[in-house]
Structure 1
């Protein structure tokens, strides 16, 4: 009977050791899995940061170019075409004006003045659009500089926090 109790004690100790091994194995597996997940998340985060930086650079260059092209295609080019048309009309009116009798000159002079007035309005509008474009470009550049500055500040804060953590761990 004493032998049976000793064997039971040995079996219980072996089971405890085996349970401890299983626990160690389980915790090691969990830690490895946590480490793997952390590494995977860090890789995804670094990929996202890289994609963000590339995307940010592309947006920065493309948005300025697109803004200029869109405004140029939608506003400036038609205005230039209209200005050329009005200049040509004024030229034609001047050609006709020199050949007309005196009483017809007054009528055509008023028409010519109206054409010149419209031409001046279009030129002023073109100048205004150019100024607005330059202002829009300056605003976009300031926004991008501000975003860059905020991003750099966040990175510096993270570096400082990491530095403090490593200093705290070393002590």
Structure 2
């Protein structure tokens, strides 16, 4: 399976194809609006603004699997992220990142980039995956890795 063969729905139920991002670096993040790491939305938005015209796509994948920290519905989540956190990068519908109903994108990413102590399992909100402009999983980052610390890898992939 290839990254560009995968799709996800937007919060409005429209299909978002990963193939639309060919030639761009993609930063995939499982997000939650009521998490202690939620301030990372600000850093993710800064990366989005700084590099969106240079070839970076930030994609937020809201997930409610960790202590119900994404209580919003698909209908209210996008607006909440815009109003409360200034998010303008694309969000998907709520998905699962672990277990029986793991979304295909996270199944694929976890199979290619394993985590530390927990193996491939996503241990918390704001786990991040960086994909090369050729669609290859490049690096996985822990939830506590701030967006700022990922910037050098993004610049390397974008050849900046």
Alignment TM-score > 0.5, same fold = no
Name the TM tier (shorter chain).
under 0.3
Larger RCO of the pair (alpha carbons < 8 Å, separation 6+): 2
Higher helix share: 1
Normalising by the residue count of structure 1, what TM-score does the alignment of the two structures yield?
0.17
Higher strand share: 2
Larger radius of gyration: 1
